[in-house]
Amino acid sequence: MVLNLLFITTVIKSTFGVVTTGLWLIPLMLAAITYYRYDAVDPESRPLDQLNLYPEYDFIVVGSGSAGAVVANRLSEVRKWKVLLIEAGPDENEISDVPSLAAYLQLSKLDWAYKTEPSNKACLGMQNNRCNWPRGRVLGGSSVLNYMLYVRGNRNDYDHWAALGNTGWDYDQVLRYFKKSEDNRNPYLANNAYHGRGGLLTVQESPWHSPLVAAFVEAGTQLGYQNRDINGAQQSGFMIAQGTIRRGSRCSTAKAFLRPIRQRKNFHLSMNSHVTRVIIEPGTMRAQAVEFVKHGKVYRIAARREVILAAGAINTPQLMMLSGLGPRKHLEKHGIRVLQDLPVGENMQDHVGMGGLTFLVDKPVAIIQDRFNPTAVTFQYVLRERGPMTTLGGVEGLAFVHTPYSNRSVDWPDIQFHMAPASINSDNGARVKKVLGLKESVYQEVYHPIANKDSWTIMPLLLRPRSRGSVKLRTANPFHYPLINANYFDDPLDAKTLVEGAKIALRVAEAQVFKQFGSRLWRKPLPNCKQHKFLSDAYLECHVRTISMTIYHPCGTAKMGPAWDPEAVVDPRLRVYGVRGLRVIDASIMPTISSGNTNAPVIMIAEKGADLIKEDWLTNPEYKVKRQASAGRTKSRTVGGAGDTEAAASSIQAVNINSLLNNNNSSSNILDSSSNVLDSSSNMVASSNSNILDTSSSNISASSSNIVNSSSSSNISASSSNIVNSSNITYSES
């Protein structure tokens, strides 16, 4: 047991950077012990990190998140295909399995910890007017960090995609892919035509609920909305949330899709591997290989058939632009050779929500961190797979409602509610305010006076924003975080719609059913909104712009569309326009955002995308002929094309670090001398007996914000914004 405790402490340190203090260290440790034991008896043990990679694979999948894990699983079903899955982060750990601890994973080492650029229209209550944007840097991606809510979106979302020219993406054709992956264990949905049984992804309700969620659903019926399965025939209505959990623990895509295939001989997984670019042969415009850094070594692995980008709506466009695919002027600005002028990084959409709407109750029915006996709660979780630790990140209820801006004659609501039996004040400022990035002054004035008091919240979120944001390169250095402009509320109608959603939320909270708890609104105004009458439209809009919350659903940055769509980056078969052997299969391809949480739709996209690849390579002779012709033209290239066995020996090449950081596209050093100085006098030499450049001896010095060191032959000075450590890659942002 002592060894187990030491092990758990290490897990917590590695995940959160420090050992958590306070009473909740105990359940963290006990929960980790539970899953340490759980893994020992689980027949689906953890995937293996492959150290000895082949020089060439049939398919290389970049990113192991909600999409990449699914694609790798489905492609490796074809035994003759060799599949490599590349993930920038490590494996899941024991803490990530516990549903209620979702917030503790954000801002940890499993999170890219992105931030939006400062705004004067939104995120006004956040530090430096920047919203935190968590993204999973872990096996399973953001399905390991999210709140596990299983929401498919609306029938009209997909019919709209098809109407835009995306043949095969209407609701009737994508429904089977939702059902294919699903193993729905809710008894009341058994034999339901809209749900699947026996799939790899477990979906069910949390086994523990507070009394407040039943009141929430009842309040919806009092307003005229039905209690219904929002993933079924109609969406408008209220329900207790369904989530991707199994036996009380998180069911990430890594657990669902990768653990069962860990011993497939044609499947390799490479973790802690940061992809720096896709190598595209300019003459044939074919994706030939993927370049990445792992444990201080630069690998270049060839793809015989295709490279699939599944790195998510932030990393996929960044990687495409680093590879020469993107807006011409933007790439030229960073000295990157333009291979294909495409609107990569544009069309970004996200569900923005209004946080901080807090209702106090007189009865002890909410989640208060200091109320629960840590030992009792944890053992309830351990022994019975029940209790508060099984809650879906705290979210218990979901609803879809119409504002006056939507057409009520069509079942296509424009506002979603997340209901939780807690609020910003419930943990006494321990975690929630940090995850949000809330300004200390706002927390102290508004929420600290009710710290640890019983409360609950409804968070309205905008389902179909009209505003569009973007992802741009900060520099041409692949280890520098991109510029994320969320552009929330650029269209004023977005804020007005969310204000109407807040009004409906207030009516829900005023329903008769909540009177039994003494529920009432906490009426402390936000400090920067005091000039407006409390709860007036002007005040609510100020609140919306102050506590603007991402719901973790960025998408659309590599838009799917027909050839005549000037905004399209990929075609309806998810192939990148103008590039052979390259597809995007993740949230980036959404033409418009789905109406609801995006994890389930992304898994659907991956299921369908994998089938499209199989159709092309297994049943389309014309497609094969084209690929063979391409292979013949690229035979003499450094990195082999399809069928090019001569290049196998050189497909993992020694790569000069100067070329790596400059993307091999510019004769001049792109790195600014004031932020990233490459010592040109250093000489990287690879052993003649090895195909891999070992940079573990490189010496990296960084500014005082993040300093790492190793032993010596080359010297790279990097700014504090994002730094690569040759022996253990780490990231930070200025």
Catalytically annotated residues: 553
98 contact partners, CB below 8 Å, separation of at least 6:
31, 35, 249, 250, 381, 389
What is the rounded CA–CA span in Å between residue 16 and residue 13? Answer: 5
What is the rounded CA–CA span in Å between residue 171 and residue 153? Answer: 10
Looking at this protein, which amino acid is placed at residue 222? Q
* Pairing relationship of beta strands 676-678 and 715-718 according to DSSP bridges: antiparallel
578 contact partners, CB below 8 Å, separation of at least 6:
285, 340, 342
CB neighbour burial string for 575-588, b if at least 16 within 10 angstroms, e if fewer: bbbebbbbbbbbbb
219 contact partners, CB below 8 Å, separation of at least 6:
238, 508, 509, 511, 513, 514
Q: Which of 89, 97, 85, 88 is nearest to 37 (CA)?
A: 97
What is the rounded CA–CA span in Å between residue 104 and residue 80? Answer: 41
Report how many helices (DSSP H) and strands (DSSP E) the chain contains, helices first: 18, 30
* Angle, CA of 47, 50 and 53, to the nearest 5°: 145
What is the rounded CA–CA span in Å between residue 698 and residue 676? Answer: 15
Q: What Rg value do the Cα atoms of the chain yield, rounded?
A: 25
Beta strands in 616-733 (DSSP E): 676-678, 693-694, 699-702, 715-718
Question: Across-strand partners of 458?
Answer: 419
Beta strands in 220-312 (DSSP E): 237-240, 242-243, 245-246, 249-250, 267-270, 273-281, 286-294, 297-309
Other beta carbons within 10 angstroms of residue 289's beta carbon come to 28
